[in-house]
Amino acid sequence: MDFKEADKYLFQNYGRFPYAFEKGEGCYIYDENGKKYLDMLSGIAVNCLGYNHPKLSEAICDQAKKIIHISNLFYIKPQVEVAKILVENSCGDKVFFCNSGAESNEAAIKLVRRYFYDKSLNKYEIVSFEGGFHGRTLGALAATAQPKYHEGFQPLPEGFKYAKYNNIQSVKNLINEKTAAIFIELIQGEGGVNPADKEFVKELFSICKENNILFCVDEVQTGIGRTGKLFAYQHYDIEPDIITLAKGLGGGVPIGAVIAKEEIAKSFIPGTHASTFGGNYLATVSAKVVLQEVLSEGFLDKVRENGDYLKERLKEFGFNVKGLGLIVGMDLPENINAKDVVVKALENGLIIGTAGKNTLRFVPPLIIDKKDIDLAIEILKNIIMGR
Ligand SMILES: *Cc1c(COP(=O)(O)O)cnc(C)c1O
């Protein structure tokens, strides 16, 4: 791969590392020269079944030979099957499909507004949290309370307010009769792998119930087994009104989804919202395999077990380690730059990510085992201790 040529023809909106990969197997991926890397980032929390998963690859190949896409003017069988699995394993009643995380949040924002419009209530304000991330489209961006992502894109849609994460008083200060919904990540992914406190979430949920405010959980990163349960909200004693999904859902094939209670979902009557590609054959056949695997006997137990093991091993560095299941962050002290560690790790055959200010992010395929984790720790020890 000629990286110069790549930069000539591609938008330069990404800070790309000079690597290109060719094939993968399980948690490992190979570059063009055949060099092997352990992938602890999985396409940013996407490739939950790893690479070349036999069932996923086969299902995609089989489907590609039949129909890839047909549009929602017709019924799509695997779409119904995936919706059924999501509903039967969540507190929601109905599912809308789209193609990405931003789109799922965009749909959720529209759904919230339309729901209160249908009730003839002047409620449209959405409260989200500092350090959160909900996507790059204008609505999702307005819900993303991080100034660096807003710069140069004003005016953003109106009706968004930002509270402090894990600070119930700051939420109370912002809500009023116009407040329609709270949007929250139960573990802030991009923001630095910050888990929400149990007590905070419980109080937030009761405030929503008392004030006719919808509780919307952005599970784009935390959903589909990432935290050791199918959804992160299941670690908390709450039932969200709306759940948004994407990343892990298709195991690498683009797909997003919104799960909502019946009462809310019914506001999207024909003509109100749509997506041409949303829930197409290829995407939903993939999601079906992913869900069947993640929900298979013992799978989530292993995610929890290996997640605990990863955290335990990372604690050997003596830094702050946080997260749940296989979304784990390690805060680095100021004298160690997270990006430098990522670059050195790549040189040494390990793919990891960064998040927040100076945090290393680990979101490996959910099929990772202890031996892979040991290898990652060994490589990191050489980099961090051997500086
Ligand atoms: C990645 C992410 C998004 C945006 O998803 P895209 O598919 O990139 O649009 C939204 N919310 C959360 C929590 C995410 O981690």
Question: Tens digits of per-residue pLDDT, 288-311?
Answer: 999 999 999 999 999 999 999 999
Task: Give CA–CA dist 150/200, Å, rounded.
Answer: 27
Torsion, Cα of 309, 227, 326, 359 (10° steps): -110
Would you say 102 and 308 are in contact if contact means Cβ atoms under 8 Å apart? no
Ligand 1: does its nearest atom lie under 6 Å from the Cβ of 100?
yes
Helix, strand, coil tally for the chain in percent (to 5) = 40, 20, 40
Interval between CA 44 and ligand 1 midpoint (Å) = 10
What band does 385 get if pLDDT is binned at 50, 70 and 90? confident
Task: Give CA–CA dist 124/110, Å, rounded.
Answer: 10
Mean pLDDT across 277-293: 98
Mean pLDDT across 125-136: 98
User: Is pLDDT at 386 greater than 80 in this prediction?
Assistant: no
Question: Token match 């406190």: residue?
Answer: 197
What band does 139 get if pLDDT is binned at 50, 70 and 90? very high
The two tokens of residue 350 are 């390990």
Ligand 1: does its nearest atom lie under 6 Å from the Cβ of 190?
yes
The two tokens of residue 102 are 């931003």
Mean pLDDT, the chain, rounded, equals: 98
Sign of the alpha-carbon dihedral angle for 320, 251, 101, 233: negative
Residue type, 208: C
Interval between CA 59 and ligand 1 midpoint (Å) = 25
Question: Token match 């939903």: residue?
Answer: 284
Ligand 1: does its nearest atom lie under 6 Å from the Cβ of 133?
yes
User: Is pLDDT at 274 greater than 80 in this prediction?
Assistant: yes
3-state secondary structure of 163: strand
Task: Give CA–CA dist 37/378, Å, rounded.
Answer: 14
User: How many beta carbons lie within 10 A of that of residue 28, not counting itself?
Assistant: 19
User: Is pLDDT at 349 greater than 70 in this prediction?
Assistant: yes
Mean pLDDT across 176-196: 97
User: Is pLDDT at 179 greater than 90 in this prediction?
Assistant: yes
Total H helices, total E strands in the chain: 14, 17
User: Is pLDDT at 345 greater than 70 in this prediction?
Assistant: yes
Interval between CA 326 and ligand 1 midpoint (Å) = 17
pLDDT of 176 reads 98
Pocket test residue of 99, 109, 133 for ligand 1, highest count of atoms within 8 A of CB = 133
30-82 tens-digit pLDDT: 999 999 999 999 999 999 999 999 999 999 999 999 999 999 999 999 999 99
User: Is pLDDT at 20 greater than 90 in this prediction?
Assistant: yes
In this structure, the strands spanning 242-245 and 214-218 are parallel
Report the percentage of the chain scoring pLDDT > 70: 100
Residues in a beta bridge with 98: 256
Query: Is the model's pTM score more than 0.85?
Result: yes
Task: Give CA–CA dist 83/245, Å, rounded.
Answer: 12
Element housing 260 (H / E):
strand 256-260
Residue type, 28: Y
Pocket test residue of 134, 185, 245, 363 for ligand 1, highest count of atoms within 8 A of CB = 134
244-266 tens-digit pLDDT: 999 999 999 999 999 999 999 99
What band does 387 get if pLDDT is binned at 50, 70 and 90? low
Torsion, Cα of 60, 66, 69, 75 (10° steps): -110
Rg over alpha carbons for the chain, rounded to the nearest Å, is 21
The two tokens of residue 259 are 């799960």
Mean pLDDT across 107-134: 98
